[in-house]
Chains A and B, each alone.
Chain A
Amino acid sequence: MTFTLPPGLALQKVDERIMTLNVGPQHPGSGHMRIIVQIDGDYIVACDPDPGYVHRGEEKMAEYRNYITNIPHLERPVIHDSCNVLYPYVLGAEELLGIEVPERAKYVRVIASELNRCIYIMYWLAIYGIFLGHSTMFMWPAGDRELLIDLMEKMTGARVTHAHFVPGGVRNDLPPNFEDVCLRQVNYFEKRIKEYAAVFYDNPILISRTKDTGILSRQDAIRYGTTGSVLRASGVDYDLRVKEPYDVYDELDVHTNVMKEGDSYARSRVPWLDMMESCNIIRQALQKMPKSGSVRVKLKPNPKTKGLESVYKRVESGRGSLGCYIVSDAKPEPYRVKMSVPSFRNLIALPNLLKGEKLGNMPSVYWSLNYWPVEADR
């Protein structure tokens, strides 16, 4: 008797040498996703990432809510980076609705976005540290992250999910004396992360575990369409803050950190360098920001576009280029919102990087991709 399998299912020939191993979705080493690896002895011969365990249908939900009420739920995929996740959506909605943002609001956004980038990277670094068995690198970033979370709390009123950016500006102005406190904390923060080099990045154990593992060549990084720190660790000089500056990034001096090695070590070091660059940007923005002025343009209730229009905006988030494609059809709700998220784009590199690696190198390669499962699933 023959039968045809529905598309998407395939019968598999089982080889006695090869063992199939499910890493996740409950295993803490994989985050909320499953990686199906096939191993021959200690070597990975095939890898099939299986995301989707935290798929929440953000894009479908966005079609039922108007441009303002979409804001709190669209930042949920990466709560540590919630300003950057909202950024392209807000920029897109502004272009669709024809809103001009006050100058001061643009600077407040840049500061919030850079603080958020550091908060995200610190969280990621803590996870990267603990999965390589380096518990100091879990405790230090988790503790130092509090400095910036306190700043965000002063700024937005919320510690993690800020919902601070709205079409037309930001939700509220900076509290009094924020600039001084921010400058002080950021300077201390920068001094603090420089100390990480001695305990983590120059540590021979880390170097032996991450150097020359999971090498992603420049050609492959481009071909796979990877983005962010993964791309820049493979020697491609591409940062949207420089290449396609949004808001006031063209008035700030942004340096792109590039490493040529393309291995796990480079991928783990580039975000750390990015944090120092963020501190630089925050200092510049604090200096150039207009000292007073409005930070928000009030919208009309239920704003809508005239006809069928679409817009694609992208920003550089903590993980890489984050795009938002909005289609609007003259209703208060968007017709379609698509988030093109960097985690999802970087995931395609994983099977190719793990092939031929030792199983023990899996955490160092997987977490170096700066991957956030919840964001990839949306």
Chain B
Amino acid sequence: MSAETENPPAEAKPEVKSPPPKPAPKKPEAAPVELPAFEKSISDKLVEKFGDKVEVGFVKEDRVRINVGREDVHDVAEFIRDELNYDHVESVSGVDYPQDNEIEVVYHIGSYTESSLARQILVLATRAQRETNPIPGNDATKLPTLRDVFYSVEFHEREVFEMFGVFFDGHPDNRRLLLPEDWADLPPLRKDFAIKGR
């Protein structure tokens, strides 16, 4: 689905005295370069459990990205919480892709309780159908909510709803959060909402 694979070649280096060991992000399919072992084991567990339903976006040091279809995202999130011991969501970001006619919602999931996961962020990405003429809440741009899995997404999902028009099915409180109550324009972080004068 997503193509975030390539690593910018670290050229144009200055006279560096002692370069710290820089994590080199790897292409998942470019075989011989070794992937970070611990991160690989996390993604392996997910692939083993869900097979074709999950796609590994990348495996970098401290970051693992998983792309999931919208119908499986709830099951995968439950597995992440119960089996992999992640316990909170740091950030929920929408990203609008008009060329794919999709809106991506990215969950950055971390763990406080499991000390081996303290550095780790699991990036769980899913995509919702995008409407050309959105009616937020009443069109096909919908995703299942993860509020019952991770309580911490509550305000983040409300923000994604108003900024991108992605309605979260089952969210207890799908109200506006930051925008004014009488906002009647497009959801403002969609790419087709243009800033005046730009």
Contact = CB atoms under 8 A, between A and B. Distances in A.
A100 B13 contact: yes
A222 B113 contact: yes
A243 interface: yes
A162 interface: no
B93 A338 contact: yes
Contact of A325 (B6, B93, B152): B93
Contacts of A8: 137, 174-176
A224 B147 CA distance: 11
B17 A103 contact: yes
A100 B19 contact: yes
A224 to B, nearest CB: 6
A321 B90 contact: yes
B97 to A, nearest CB: 9
Interface string A46-57: 000011100101
B180 interface: yes
B91 A325 contact: yes
A41 to B, nearest CB: 26
A340 B88 contact: no
Given A57-B188, A224-B151, A312 B16 contact: no
A312 B3 CA distance: 16
Interface string B16-27: 111100100000
B167 A7 contact: yes
B79 to A, nearest CB: 18
Interface residues of B, number: 60
A51 B179 CA distance: 9
Interface residues of A, number: 56
A345 B62 contact: no
Interface of B: 2-6, 8-19, 22, 62-63, 65, 87-91, 93, 95-96, 106, 108, 112-113, 118-119, 121, 123, 136-138, 150-152, 154-156, 159, 167, 174-180, 188-189, 193, 195, 198
27 contacts: A8-B137, A9-B175, A50-B177, A98-B9, A99-B12, A100-B13, A103-B18, A222-B87, A222-B112, A223-B152, A225-B89, A236-B112, A243-B118, A305-B8, A307-B3, A308-B3, A309-B6, A309-B8, A312-B121, A321-B90, A323-B90, A325-B91, A325-B108, A327-B4, A344-B155, A345-B90, A348-B152
Given A306-B6, A336-B95, A344-B159, 6 more contacts: A100-B19, A225-B150, A225-B152, A321-B90, A323-B90, A348-B151
Q: Which 7 A-B pairs have the closest CB atoms?
A: A225-B152, A340-B91, A7-B137, A225-B88, A52-B178, A338-B93, A98-B8
Interface of A: 6-9, 50-52, 55, 57, 59-61, 64, 96-100, 102-103, 222-225, 227, 231, 236, 238, 243-244, 290, 293-294, 297, 300, 305-310, 312, 314, 321, 323, 325, 327, 335-336, 338, 340, 344-345, 347-348, 377
